[in-house]
Amino acid sequence: MKIISYSIFGEEQWYRKGLIKNIEIAKNLFSDWTVRVYISNKIEKVFIDEVSKHKNVELIVKDEKYPFEGLMWRMLPMEEGHEVVAVRDCDTRLFERDKNLLDDWLSNEFKYHVCRENPGSYNVMLGGLYGGKKPKIAIEDKWHKWRENYIKKKKSLYVWDIDFLRRHVYPFIRKDLIVYSEHVRMDCEKNVKKIPGERGFYKGKYIQIGMYIEEDFDKNDENKSLEDKKQFGRSRNVQRLNYLEEDKSFNPNDSGLVTYKPLFKYKNLIINYLYLFFSITFNKKVSLLGIMYIFFHNRVLHKYLRLNKILNHKFFETYK
């Protein structure tokens, strides 16, 4: 089975509208794929029925046990060994460019793919831009353990699936991975290429996979519920605005590929950074300013500078 996976929860209308639109697009663009939708049992029945009426949809109603659990649901096919799985976002649009990417990926030998179309995509993985061939990653078990630890540190109900993917999925897939990007690659990535075919336009903007379709939504679609949900809504709005701002200055003829972030060799970040430091120092790959940028710009470094964290870490444990 070929699966395009989505999850939906909460009251935000832009996700609901986006999901329905993508289901309709997939009927023609991905006619031999199944759109699997994980949906919260807290969503009203009328919308659940609206989703289930589409013949290309496999609907799974989930018991939402805690806030933002739904961020994990769309990852679940990645542990089931299906022929192909592509994980995507409800509030981004499917385009012919998505098909070009998936067709190219399916024609090559790499088991996993990640896409970074946005020039501002500095994360190793985004929540809705990756996939696997016959993937069997223990998503749910890893998620629950990570979430408990994350909430203790952050003291917030809201969790970033991007952080989970960076820590527990990317290190696992990186050695059998192809990255589709014209702008950003990570130091450890050897297989990076452009998406084949023409880019095209959507409402006057260059199409980028994972782009937010701001014009398809209105202010009434914004989140107006509980404080933690407002935090979630605000974060998405900021990402939207950044995306559009970057899109306005986007030059499709600029093929400059920026190498970003440190090598993913050691699980311990301090050792990882030291490895990077000596590697780039002796190989003279970057300037001292570049080294300082890598060390201090990274948002997670300061979390590992406390003595108790250092003492409790297995310093030289590497990713398999």
Per-residue pLDDT tens digits of the chain, which is 320 residues long? 999 999 999 888 889 999 999 999 999 999 999 999 999 999 999 999 999 999 999 999 999 998 889 999 999 999 999 999 999 999 889 999 999 999 999 999 999 999 988 766 778 888 899 999 999 999 999 998 888 888 777 766 666 788 899 889 998 898 899 999 987 888 778 899 999 998 888 887 788 888 877 656 665 655 544 444 454 454 455 444 444 444 455 454 555 666 655 455 556 666 666 766 666 556 555 455 555 555 554 444 444 443 333 334 444 444 44
Q: Strand pairing of 177-181 and 129-132?
A: unpaired
d(CA 208, CA 225): 30
**Which of these, 10, 12, 67, 57, lies nearest to 36 by C-alpha position?**
57
pLDDT value of residue 179: 95
Question: What span, in angstroms and rounded, lies between the C-alpha atoms of 67 and 76?
Answer: 17
Token representation of residue 114: 């990640």
Judge contact between 246 and 119, C-beta under 8 A.
Answer: yes
pLDDT at 59: 98
Question: Residues of CATH 3.90.550 domain(s) within the chain?
Answer: 2-248
For the stretch 151-185, what's the b/e string if a residue is b when 16 or more beta carbons lie within 10 angstroms of its beta carbon? Answer: eeeeeebbbbbeebbbebbbbbbbeebbbbbbbbb
Which pLDDT value is given to residue 45? Answer: 96
Q: How confident is the model at residue 162, as a pLDDT?
A: 86
- Confirm if 3 and 102 have CB atoms less than 8 A apart: no
Count, residues in the chain = 320
Q: How far apart are CA 156 and CA 228, in angstroms?
A: 8
**d(C-alpha 109, C-alpha 129), whole Å:** 19
Per-residue confidence (pLDDT) for residue 171, from 0 to 100: 87
Q: Check: CB of residue 25 under 8 Å from CB of residue 88.
A: no
Q: Which residues contact 220 (CB under 8 A, 6 or more apart)?
A: 13
Give 2-248's CATH code, choosing from 3.40.1000, 3.90.320, 2.60.40, 3.90.550: 3.90.550
